[in-house]
């Protein structure tokens, strides 16, 4: 059978359907004729028709099952594998065993995939070389800025942060969580900012000012300098800002944010322009109504790129002993969480970190249930837009495939180091990388805005109910 062409195999399905149908009808007529001789012709006719009907339905169901298992599903898997290679750069081998009855289609797909991989590898090598050169220059610039006792921020015309250095990150951390795309008014007094920017616009050149922090306890000596396009360079006297000796604070920037319009509704925002906060939790157990969070990991995606340095890796004191069975999974022990923030403080930090973004998680209802249970104590509303990578996977690969995080990573070529699996940060980062590889695949299917994606994911909501 494996040497027959695909056309001949499809033809044989129809032959089997026709032959089986003829056999069922003839058998039913024979049985009906026998029944007619025993009773009356009308009863025999009805019996023959009923028997034919059930027989044809059963035959069609059986042949459809064979066709689905040996033709339809393998073609779908082959198509999704090729799409993953073309749009997500995944290098997983094609499943040729399940496609063994597809004739020359599977070998032809493998040849195309191999050629695509070779071309991608050559491009990746050139890109890696150029990236290494740029990273080396960026590292030298970061080291130079660190030696200067000033903190540097760049904001666009709307007052959104598009660049900050390591010392600016420390200043922002005094007032909240440093975030690209966040408004300056989230960290500094809005009135002070407005007054300083008005003087800057009136003077047209550098001005000095004193800004109060949002907490009202800190004040900062700053200089504002106007740049092209309404952007503003802010230099803060950071002589008294203490940098942690082991702090890894890179120069963080995304110039694509400058001039980028923000749609009024998140549903209208293109997927590539969305800000995502991808998070994961480790818990004392699997019951959101009674168990507690022991670890939170979160990363941010801005303009389809993971933002270096913008992460949360927080142990949480659950206020109760951690069962040994749970520790065996995530390796978080009672000693590790002793003296760490409780869920109220940790939850507020995550809430601020996720402000103005779409929250993403793998099996989001599970993780969100823990946070929402403590929402009143946190004095926070968890009303962010939510995206679940389980449902995104179902949109791309169909409901018949496996949608665990491990399966997605394998399918899309994402590697989770063994020591990071079942840690909040490791799983959050893996989920983020999986999402980044699925976004171009969604666009290739015509799903380009967040609203369109939500509409597609709602078709597969039953998956989450079954998982939970």
- pLDDT score recorded for residue 413: 87
Sign of CA dihedral 170, 172, 175, 177: negative
What is the arithmetic mean of pLDDT over 399-421?
89
Residue 409: Cβ-neighbour burial (10 angstroms; 0-12, 13-18, 19+): buried
Closest listed residue to residue 341, CA positions, set 310, 367, 374, 381:
374
Contact between 176 and 186 (Cβ < 8 Å) = yes
Sign of CA dihedral 140, 142, 143, 145: positive
CATH of domain 148-237: 3.30.450.20
For the stretch 74-117, pLDDT in tens is 888 777 777 777 776 665 566 666 667 676 677 776 666 666 66
What is the arithmetic mean of pLDDT over 445-458?
95
What's the per-residue H, E or C state across the chain? CCCCCHHHHHHHHHHHHHHHHHHHHHHHHHHHHHHHHHCCHHHHHHHHHHHHHHHHHHHHHHHHHHHHHHHHHHHHHHHHHHHHHHHHCCCCCCCCCCCCCCCCHHHHHHHHHHHHHHHHHHHHHHHHHHHHHHHHHHHHHHHHHHHCCEEEEEECCCCEEEEECHHHHHHHHCCCCCCCCCEHHHCECHHHHHHHHHHHHHHCCCEEEEEEECCCCCEEEEEEEECHHHCEEEEEECCCCCCCCCCCCCCEECHHHCCCCCCCCHHHCEHHHCEEEEEEEEECCCCCCCCCEEEEEEEEEECCEEEEEEEEEEECCCCCCCCHHHHHHHCCCHHHHCCCCCHHHHHHHHHHHCCCCEEEECCHHHHHHHHHHCHHHHCCCCCCCEEEHHHHHHHHHCCCCCCCHHHHHHHHCCCCCHHHCCCHHHHHHHHHHHHHHHHHHHHHCCCCEHHHHHHHHHHHCHHHHHHC
Q: Which residues of 76-100 are buried (b: 16+ CB within 10 A; e: fewer)?
A: ebbebbbbbbbbbbbeeebeeebbe
**For residue 16, is pLDDT > 90?**
no
- pLDDT score recorded for residue 229: 83
**For residue 61, is pLDDT > 80?**
yes
Paired with 164 in beta bridges are 153, 252
**For residue 169, is pLDDT > 60?**
yes
φ and ψ of 226, to 5 deg: -75, 145
- pLDDT score recorded for residue 264: 75
Question: Could you tell me the residue ranges of all domains in the chain?
Answer: 6-117, 148-237, 265-467
Q: How far apart are CA 168 and CA 245, in angstroms?
A: 16
**For residue 242, is pLDDT > 80?**
no
Kindly state which CATH superfamily the domain 265-467 is placed in.
Ribonuclease H-like superfamily/Ribonuclease H (3.30.420.10)
**For residue 247, is pLDDT > 60?**
no
Closest listed residue to residue 354, CA positions, set 225, 179, 209:
179
Domain 148-237 shares a fold with domain 265-467: no
For the stretch 255-290, pLDDT in tens is 888 877 777 789 999 999 999 999 999 999 999 999
- pLDDT score recorded for residue 232: 93
Mean pLDDT, the chain, integer: 86
Position with higher pLDDT, 170 vs 342: 342
Q: Which residues of 248-272 are buried (b: 16+ CB within 10 A; e: fewer)?
A: ebbbbbbeebbeeeeeeebeebebe
What is the arithmetic mean of pLDDT over 358-379?
96
What is the arithmetic mean of pLDDT over 56-80?
84
Residue for token pair 């040996």: 70
Closest listed residue to residue 397, CA positions, set 337, 346, 457:
457
């Amino acid at each position: 059978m494996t040497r027959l062409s695909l056309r001949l195999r499809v033809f044989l399905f129809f032959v089997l359907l026709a032959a089986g149908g003829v056999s069922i009808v003839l058998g039913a007529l024979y049985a009906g004729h026998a029944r007619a001789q025993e009773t009356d012709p009308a009863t025999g006719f009805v019996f023959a028709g009923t028997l034919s009907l059930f027989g044809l339905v059963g035959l069609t169901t059986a042949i459809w099952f064979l066709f689905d298992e040996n033709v339809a599903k393998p073609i779908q898997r082959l198509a999704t594998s090729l799409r993953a290679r073309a749009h997500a750069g995944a290098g997983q081998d094609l499943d040729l065993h399940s496609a063994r009855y597809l004739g020359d289609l599977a070998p032809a797909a493998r040849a195309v995939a191999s050629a695509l991989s070779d071309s991608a590898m050559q491009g990746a090598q050139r890109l890696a070389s150029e990236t290494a050169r740029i990273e080396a220059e960026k590292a030298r610039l970061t080291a130079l800025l660190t030696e200067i006792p000033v903190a540097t921020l760049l904001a666009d015309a709307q007052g959104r942060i598009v660049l900050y250095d390591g010392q600016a990150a420390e200043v922002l951390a005094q007032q909240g969580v440093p975030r690209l795309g966040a408004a300056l008014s989230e960290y500094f007094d809005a009135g002070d900012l407005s007054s300083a920017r008005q003087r800057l616009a009136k003077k047209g050149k550098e001005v000095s000012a004193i800004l109060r922090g949002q907490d009202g306890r800190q004040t900062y000596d700053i200089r504002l300098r106007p740049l092209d396009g309404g952007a503003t360079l802010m230099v803060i006297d950071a002589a008294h800002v203490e940098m942690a000796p082991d702090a890894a604070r890179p120069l963080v920037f995304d110039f694509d944010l400058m001039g980028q319009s923000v749609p009024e509704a998140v549903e209208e925002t293109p997927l590539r322009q969305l800000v995502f906060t991808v998070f994961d939790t480790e818990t004392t157990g699997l019951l959101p109504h009674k168990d507690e969070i022991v670890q939170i990991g979160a990363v941010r995606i801005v303009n389809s790129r993971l933002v270096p340095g913008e992460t949360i890796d927080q142990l949480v004191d659950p206020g109760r002993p951690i069962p040994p069975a749970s520790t065996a999974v995530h390796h978080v022990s009672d000693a590790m969480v002793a003296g760490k923030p409780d869920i109220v403080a940790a939850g507020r930090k995550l809430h601020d970190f996720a402000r103005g973004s779409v929250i993403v998680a793998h099996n989001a209802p599970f993780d969100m249930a823990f946070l929402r249970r403590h929402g009143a104590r946190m004095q926070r509303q968890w009303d962010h837009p939510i995206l679940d990578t389980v449902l995104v996977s179902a949109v791309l690969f169909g409901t018949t495939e496996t949608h665990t995080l491990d399966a997605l990573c394998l399918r899309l070529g994402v590697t989770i180091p063994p020591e990071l699996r079942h840690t909040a940060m490791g799983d959050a980062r893996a989920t983020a990388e999986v999402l980044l590889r699925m976004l171009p695949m969604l666009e290739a299917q015509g799903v380009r805005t967040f609203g369109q994606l939500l509409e597609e994911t709602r078709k597969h909501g039953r998956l989450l109910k079954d998982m939970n």
